[in-house]
Structure 1
Amino acid sequence: MRVLRGRAETREVDGEVTAAMLSETAETGEPAVRVWTPHRQVAFGRRDARAEDFEVAKSVARACGFEPVERSVGGRAVAYTGTTVAFARTIPLEDMRTGMEARYAEMTEAVQRAFWRLGVPAQRGEPPRSFCPGNYSLQWKGKLAGVAQRVRTGAALVSGVVVVDDHGEIADVLDPIYAALDVPFDLDSVGSIAKVGGDADPGLVVETIEELLVGDAEPTVEQVEASTQVERIDADERAEYVGDRDT
């Protein structure tokens, strides 16, 4: 199993690193795992981009010091502060029409067990009016994590986000953004590991989730250098997406 560590120099290249994971797993049949802290940004989903006041929402993000980006997987807007942790695992597929629920369940259980190791008794579900609402979330006195899935011929990408700390800053930036998008949101629904007294060191969170996602596989570690250059995926090579849920 390939294990990618670190982040690229720019937001754009960093996103391409994860996209390339999916393409390479489809081509080689080798699974991959990546757990890291993305650049400070607000990542908008495809439904957000269709909202009447999407440009207003992006302007709000910039005014709050978050660069707006658009992503092709997941639901509604998610904020990354720089300590927020993202996770991704690519899985080779023989039939892209089967196994979606099992992949969601396996990822959610692995991240839940990581929370338990970090001292947070996270449970399935989420509070009402949470950020990026979906069926595969984890909560404990607020939403802590969400999971999404992207599928193409030959491989699936199961990914998501964990709020480590900065729950207040995340709530403050998402509140006016969700208002502009006309999406219900409750500031108090945002949880974090720090908020409930868990071990909120981002490095330890990354290490713990990575260990659970790798499991018993033999890892081959690759460092994502700041200068990493990733070949862009041509339009006709892009994945077919199904079942986007959560983050």
Structure 2
Amino acid sequence: MVDLATLYPHQNWGVLTQHFTKEAGPLAFAHTNSLLALSNQTQQPIIHFWTLTENVILGMMDTKLPAYPQATQALTTAHYAHFVRNAGGLGIVSDDGVLNISFYLPAMANRLTIKQAYALMHQLFTTTFTDYPVTIDHFEVTHSYCPGEYDLSINGQKFAGIAQRRAKNGIAVLLYASINGDQLARGQLMHTFYTAGQAHTQTRWTFPDVIPDTMANLADLLDYPLSVNTAIQHLQAAFCHLVQQPQLIDLTVQLKTATYQQLLLKNQTALKRYQI
């Protein structure tokens, strides 16, 4: 069985926590791509916690909407910024109540299947919240936004989704989790996005028929007033226990090096080609 405890038995994990403003959406994802490259260069696995205010992070498939300009205008009207990422297929909402978590796994592209990589995130959440009287399932929640086989849900309501990006030697496993805030409004925003984009008028591409109440916040599903910062604390503590590493290595200083800044600039430039 592949799990976090046995994945890198003789290596220390790095950790990074970042908070991005509304204007910094593309920068947030440039860090995601840069950290995957850094992980491959240093052969160090990394766990990354990050938040991004009032953005819709679109997938490349979203740009195929028949009325894509009208769809993005609906986001602007709702006071959300947006950008297109180069991982995953469909849009997700990010705000101060949504936590993003990424694993960067060097030398694993040929060792972990897609399902095995997804299962690592499921393991982290089930371990973290094992003391609560709930079961965290993984299956596609059909009428959620960005539905996928490894949607995480409790009692049938989705609170998290997972995507992957596979590079030559490494894997990035990318999760968003709705911790608190107005999840119904997030779902309504994406319903409006696909309606404005006339998703129903074409058959070549498949877009979700978003029903907002198919999704919920983790805090509500646990019936516990969970904040994003508290969730990070709980998840990091459980992660340290799983990887048998009492202290993770803080990568904040490494991000200021010239080598990393060059990586970041390269990936900021690369992301521009996906923006429509």
CA distance, structure 2, for counterparts of residue 164 and residue 54 of structure 1:
29
Structure 2 CA distance for partners of 1:98 and 1:106, relative to 1, 3 Å? closer
- Give yes or no for the alignment of 1:3 onto 2:32: no
CA offsets 1:13-38 (integer angstroms, 9 cap, x no match): 22222211100111111111111222
CA distance, structure 2, for counterparts of residue 61 and residue 83 of structure 1:
18
- Secondary structure in structure 1 of the residue aligned to 2:122: helix
CA distance, structure 1, for counterparts of residue 252 and residue 68 of structure 2:
35
Correspondent of 2:251 among 211, 214, 222: 222
Structure 2 CA distance for partners of 1:192 and 1:23, relative to 1, 3 Å? same
One-letter amino acid matched to 1:70: V
Instruction: Tell me if the contact between 1:118 and 1:199 (Cα under 8 Å) persists in the aligned partners.
Output: no
- Give yes or no for the alignment of 1:193 onto 2:242: no
1:117, distance to aligned residue in structure 2 (A): 5.0
What is the root-mean-square deviation of aligned Cα atoms in Å? 2.8
Normalized per residue, the structure richer in helix is 2
- Give yes or no for the alignment of 1:158 onto 2:173: yes
1:5, distance to aligned residue in structure 2 (A): 1.3
CA distance, structure 1, for counterparts of residue 109 and residue 89 of structure 2:
24
- Give yes or no for the alignment of 1:51 onto 2:65: yes
Gaps of 5+ in 2: 1-12, 200-206, 272-276
Gaps of 5+ in 1: 239-247
TM-score, with normalisation over the residues of structure 1?
Answer: 0.84
Instruction: Tell me if the contact between 2:20 and 2:50 (Cα under 8 Å) persists in the aligned partners.
Output: no
Correspondent of 1:61 among 52, 75, 88: 75
CA distance, structure 1, for counterparts of residue 237 and residue 142 of structure 2:
31
TM-score, with normalisation over the residues of structure 2?
Answer: 0.76
Identity %: 18
CA distance, structure 1, for counterparts of residue 96 and residue 160 of structure 2:
16
Q: Which has the higher contact order (CA 8 A, sep 6+)?
A: 1
- Give yes or no for the alignment of 1:144 onto 2:144: no
The count of residues paired between Structure 1 and Structure 2 equals 237
